[in-house]
Structure 1
Amino acid sequence: MNFDFSDDAKALRDQARRFLEERAGAAVARKAMDGDAAYDADLWKSVVELGWTAARVPEAHGGIGLSAEEACVLAEEVGRSLIPVPFVSTLIATEALLLGSEAQQAKWLPGIADSSVIATVGWAEGDTATPSRTSGVTASGDKLSGVKMPVPDLQAANLAIITAAGPDGPSLYLVDLKGTGVTVEAAPTLDLVRRHGKLTLNGAPAEALGDAATFQTFLDRAAVLSAWEAIGTGSVAMEMAIGYAKERVAFGQKIGRYQGVKHKCADMYVKLELARAHALHGAWAMATEAPELAQAAAAARVSALDALKYAAEENVQLHGGIGFTWESDCQFYYRRGRQIAFALGSRSWWADRLVRTLERRNARAA
């Protein structure tokens, strides 16, 4: 069985990388970090013109109707670039809407395709580490009250898909951010490029998107996309570390010649390739709606978080004292790594989810 991307997905990856290498990167991320805008409007316009926001939207709703493969490719390339636009948030929100009713898709997906709708997903409630429980937002009929924080790209969005407690566990709800009872504020996080916000709801109108089972399926799809973003970010951190090791001279020779440095660079590569293998399995399971999606998604997320954490931290370490300074670009990959690790729940929660899926698989096989 071939888990590699199709030729069309690889062509999209090449096109995306060329564009992002020309228009994004650490210098653009630093400019965004020093500014006050919620996102780079000019870059967002270019992303929309390339059709990326329409990638996963079905043709019936004004989109291109690409597969999960292409979505994963775009997530990886955006992860490499640190581009300051709400693309990943909108991409993940699109996956949630694809699980909704036909009426919900008809209402929101055309706007996502043409960028008149910028969407985000929020489950976090302060320092919570698990998306399987929620108490900060309560539902009363078709009204929601409570607080979600931090929510990525909230100040750029006009649609939020958030979790609230249901009879069988957390469920997804659609909230029009321009509606009544909605307050949006900035919320500082470690990631200074991808802006986050605090969403306060006071009897805000909302519409349920599926049930608790829908939320669990959404989590698996989001985990696969997040894994690819993490792999992209970790890959650039590794490339940055290797590039520095080839240039930095200490004690009369390039530091890349030292065995300790070589081993660290090799370990980065091995961890990222292992994560890529798991993520390819996840992309296949997502594209084919395979029954092992939950297992593949959990494995992809855990391995991708491990690889990104190691690459981002060792990139800082290999740069020595300069790697810890404000002027160094190492910080962007470390900060983004911490944000990705928090975005869908902690590594330990996903590791436990992986163990439970394997137990169920083994029980069925027994």
Structure 2
Amino acid sequence: MNLELTDEQIALRDAARGVLSRFDTVAAAREALETPGTLPDLWPASVDAGWPGLVVAERHGGIELGLFEAMLVAEELGKVLASVPFIGVVPAAALLSLGDHPAAAPTAEGELRPVYVPACPPSPRVDDDVWTVDGIDGERIAAPVVHRDGSAWSVTGTVGWVPDAPGADLLVVVAIDDGRPVALVVDAGAAGVEIESETRYDATRRMANIHLDGAVATALSCSEQDIAGAWYSAQALLAAEAVGTVDTCLALATAYAKERFTFGRAIGSYQAIKHELVETLRRLQNARALLLNVGWAAGAAPDDVSMAASAARYSSGQALDFAARSLINVHGGIGATWEHDAPLYFRRAQLSRRLVGGVGGAADRLADESLARARRAVEAAGVR
């Protein structure tokens, strides 16, 4: 495994940082909480930077980079709490490209904005083929279902809390057709489609509950492995975004610990503060190492991506929760007030860890994968 970024990856990361530096996204996050609906539209900047086409094949006009490169951009977005439609767009663009859909090219150009409507693959530990989605009330429910009438396809079902869904032109929906998963393309403005926008807790995260009632759909020629891969790509992107936010939390807390004095000493010299900052750093480094593992697996060991992405999602989610709380703790009383931006990072941490199956779901997946592999190893060895 090469732990060093290539020159091209460094250029991509630095370019993303440069694009985002043109916007005061943290101030926009604060303003959006006080005045809902005021977030700046960063989609044009995203299009100019080529992000919609990052993982789209060159034959469709995309850049044809990999998951790891997309994760580098997601990390930069997380550092500044940017409200760029990215988590939902990248997996959708990948499925459109893999399925050679006509919308892949306009997606790469930024003329169309698709959104991934996610469904979680079945557990390898449980003997069933149930794909599930986030329900509106927080429970896991069955994925939408396909109906066929000759050559006509339609889809019915509800998926809750879909990132980046408001304003999307196309929905790339994972649904069930005769017990098997299929990726469908649905026009967001079609009859039978309701996109119910939601803003909860973290105003920088555009989300929607999606209701489908016999919506006309077309199927993508994607394999079950491709469809499952989209889920794990979303997990990895959320992990990378979280790592970026942890990085910022640590930087802000460390800077304040150096400049804030009490009893004649910088508070960073006190053991309690030192321990908190070091623990944040430890969690950050652990999560970043697991992100590198996702990048390696995506290129060299596709069968390991599910475990790698789940481990990264869990570790980064836990790290962000700790880092956001620590940022408030280090700042003391002011850290819990609107005099400081620390609550914005806490809000991001608490909402992000619940999206797309949640950090708990990633932990369950990791445990299930580990147990399933252990069982196969035992069976292969003939141990009883």
Equivalent positions of 1:15-30 (< 5 A) are: 15-30=15-30
2:175 alignment partner in structure 1: 164
Instruction: Using the aligned pairs only, state the percent identity.
Output: 34
Return the alpha-carbon distance in structure 2 between the equivalents of residues 26 and 64 of structure 1: 29
Query: Equivalent of 1:200, from 183, 208, 211?
Result: 211
- The aligned amino acid for 1:5 is L
**1:335 matches 2:350:** no
- The aligned amino acid for 1:20 is L
Question: For structure 1, which runs of at least 5 residues remain unmatched after alignment?
Answer: none
1:183 alignment partner in structure 2: 194
2:61 alignment partner in structure 1: 62
Return the alpha-carbon distance in structure 1 between the equivalents of residues 107 and 2 of structure 2: 32
Return the alpha-carbon distance in structure 2 between the equivalents of residues 110 and 54 of structure 1: 8
The alpha carbon displacement at 1:211 in A equals 6.0
The DSSP-based 3-state class of the residue aligned with 1:192 is coil
State the superposition RMSD in angstroms: 2.3
The alpha carbon displacement at 1:129 in A equals 5.4
Return the alpha-carbon distance in structure 1 between the equivalents of residues 301 and 323 of structure 2: 31
The alpha carbon displacement at 1:98 in A equals 4.0
The DSSP-based 3-state class of the residue aligned with 1:86 is coil
Return the alpha-carbon distance in structure 2 between the equivalents of residues 344 and 19 of structure 1: 27
Return the alpha-carbon distance in structure 1 between the equivalents of residues 201 and 328 of structure 2: 16
Cα distance change of structure 1 residues 291 and 198 upon mapping to structure 2, 3 Å threshold: closer
2:164 alignment partner in structure 1: 153
Return the alpha-carbon distance in structure 1 between the equivalents of residues 309 and 88 of structure 2: 18
Equivalent residues of 1:145, 1:201 under 8 A apart: yes
Query: Equivalent of 1:113, from 90, 108, 117?
Result: 108
Equivalent positions of 1:5-24 (< 5 A) are: 5-24=5-24
1:353 alignment partner in structure 2: 365
Return the alpha-carbon distance in structure 1 between the equivalents of residues 218 and 364 of structure 2: 31
Cα distance change of structure 1 residues 169 and 252 upon mapping to structure 2, 3 Å threshold: farther
- The aligned amino acid for 1:87 is F
Cα distance change of structure 1 residues 236 and 3 upon mapping to structure 2, 3 Å threshold: same
Equivalent positions of 1:241-280 (< 5 A) are: 241-280=253-292
- The aligned amino acid for 2:60 is H
Return the alpha-carbon distance in structure 1 between the equivalents of residues 168 and 253 of structure 2: 35
Q: TM-score, normalised by structure 1?
A: 0.89
1:134 alignment partner in structure 2: 142
**1:122 matches 2:130:** no
Which range moved further: 210-219 or 171-180? 210-219
The alpha carbon displacement at 1:96 in A equals 3.4
Return the alpha-carbon distance in structure 2 between the equivalents of residues 301 and 163 of structure 1: 21
Query: Equivalent of 1:288, from 269, 281, 300?
Result: 300
Equivalent residues of 2:232, 2:306 under 8 A apart: yes
Structure showing greater Rg: 2
Equivalent residues of 1:39, 1:85 under 8 A apart: no
1:315-334 residue CA offsets vs partner (Å, 9 max, x unmatched): 12222222222342112211
- The aligned amino acid for 1:270 is R
Which aligned segments of 4 or more residues in structure 1 are displaced greater than 6 angstroms? none
Equivalent residues of 1:312, 1:334 under 8 A apart: yes
Return the alpha-carbon distance in structure 2 between the equivalents of residues 125 and 64 of structure 1: 34
